[in-house]
Amino acid sequence: MNDFLTDRFDGFSENEAIVFDSVRHTYADLSRGVADWREYLDAHEVSAGQVVVLEGASSFHACAGLLALIERGAIVVPLTLLTAAKRTEFHEVAEVETVITIAADGVTRSHSRTGRSAGHELYGRLREAGVPGLVLFSSGTTGRSKATVLDFTKVLARYGAPTRPQRTLAFLNLDHIGGINTLLHTLSQGGTIVTLPERTPETVCAAIAEYGVEVLPTTPTFLNMLLISGAYQRYDLGSLGLITYGTEPMPLGTLQRLKAALPAVRFKQTYGLSELGILPTKSKADDTLWVRLGGAGFEYRIRDGVLWIRSEMAMLGYLNAPAPFDDEGFFNTQDAVETDGDYVRILGRKSEIINVAGEKVYPSEVEDVLLGLPVIAEATVSGKPSHVTGMVVKAVVKVTEPIEQRALLRQVREHCSTRLEAFKIPCIVEISESEHHNDRFKKTRSLT
């Protein structure tokens, strides 16, 4: 099972597999790359069950290395380049035994041993079963990063026989479940992955035009940046047929503006977690946020307005936190939802709900309205303690042009007064030039 992908590559032969930094690599190249990694792992005595960090950008060689480590039966911890403090933290939490770093050129490799011996109980379960493992760290946008441990054979079991190969842009890196899913799904189908050294609206649109990208999996935050930049108007995006979005709630106004800007493109909401994998979804329509969840291998329940999911590929647990499964194996996603028959609308994390004098305010709803103001480029909403109402709504915004703060507050209140109930209107509006997202293009709520 571990090498079913590499066995499949012979049938795709000279088809393009991966484009990285303007260089096109075929499936034959990829097979040779995996073979080269086998020799490298042999030379450095990397064995099954060893906890191995694969560190670097999501290059052609990183993809080949990941496949070789899966085949070897290692427990892989894919990481991008991190700050020294974050790198040390992740290595300690994951009990990393071996570090393989791919340099900025995407080719040069280095190897080192940490001297640790990984003895976590979850690793013991993987070794006893004789299966490869995957460790993914959460983005930590609302707190400390959690380390999720997955059985890689269950991840691979989601990818069936080839049907329709497509050219897909690898927007998320290999340290994210979305990036892993994009890579494995595309390669299992004999499609082409287009990777980028940097992700900006300009570079993404240029890559779509140059390489005939058909599928763009990305985030609502990036899609909002795309609209503001106008980059989609400067390139021929005729090959693009599908944009999928997830990782955070999509503002409805942003989605509707996207549909108007790119009428020939289909939009699909996805839903997935490192802890559970990527669920099959079906959007009710391109310009709505209602989505049908589930399919083979997944079930869900809604309890007190919160989504609980049971998945066949669910994680074994966290290395550094209790796992929120119930006795039946359902996982508490902490996502508040509404329902309409078989359809669900994700409102946001329950922990992010703002309680104003007993009334609930969902940040995404307020952010959606704020983004309707031409002067606001990005908006991040949170609660601020109040001795009168318990909490009030606070908005930190990035503006499209210079504006005096008092004038901005007046515009915000006038704009929101006809679109939101009074308790949802921001009482505090701050202008900030700081980025509102992390390197995964997911909103950072700790900003506020």
Residue type, 166: Q
> Strands 242-245 and 266-269, how do they pair?
parallel
Domain of 29 in residue numbering reads as: 4-156
Average pLDDT of the residues of the chain: 90
Average pLDDT over residues 120-141: 91
CATH code for the domain of 406:
3.30.300.30
Among residues 156, 179, 210, which one ends one of the domains? 156
Average pLDDT over residues 134-156: 85
Please write the tens of the pLDDT for every residue from 18-32. Answer: 999 889 999 999 999
Residue 230 covered by a domain: no
pLDDT score at 226: 94
**Residue 388 CB coordination number (10 Å):** 8
Q: What SS3 class is residue 64?
A: helix
168 vs 163, more confident: 168
- CB distance 201 to 218 below 8 Å: no
| Weakest-pLDDT range from 112-121, 330-339, 380-389 | 380-389
Give the sign of the dihedral formed by CA 172, CA 178, CA 183, CA 189. negative
Residue 195 covered by a domain: no
Please write the tens of the pLDDT for every residue from 217-258. Answer: 999 989 999 998 999 999 999 999 999 998 888 888 899 999
pLDDT score at 1: 46
**Residue 28 CB coordination number (10 Å):** 15
Residue 147 covered by a domain: yes
Among residues 156, 184, 211, which one ends one of the domains? 156
Q: CA–CA distance from 34 to each of 27, 195, 248, 267, 388 (Å)?
A: 10, 18, 34, 34, 63
What does the alpha-carbon distance between residue 19 and residue 312 come to, in Å, rounded to a whole number?
32
CATH code for the domain of 76:
3.40.50.980
Q: What is the pTM of this model?
A: 0.87
Residue 19 covered by a domain: yes
Average pLDDT over residues 68-94: 94
End-to-end CA distance of the chain: 46
pLDDT band, residue 448 (cuts 50/70/90): very low
Residue 343 covered by a domain: no
Residue 321 covered by a domain: no
Is residue 324 over pLDDT 80?
Answer: yes
Among residues 156, 172, 200, which one ends one of the domains? 156
Is residue 153 over pLDDT 70?
Answer: yes
pLDDT score at 444: 67
pLDDT score at 447: 47
383 backbone dihedrals φ, ψ, rounded to 5°: -100, 145
Q: How many domains does the chain have?
A: 2
Tokens of 139: 């983005």
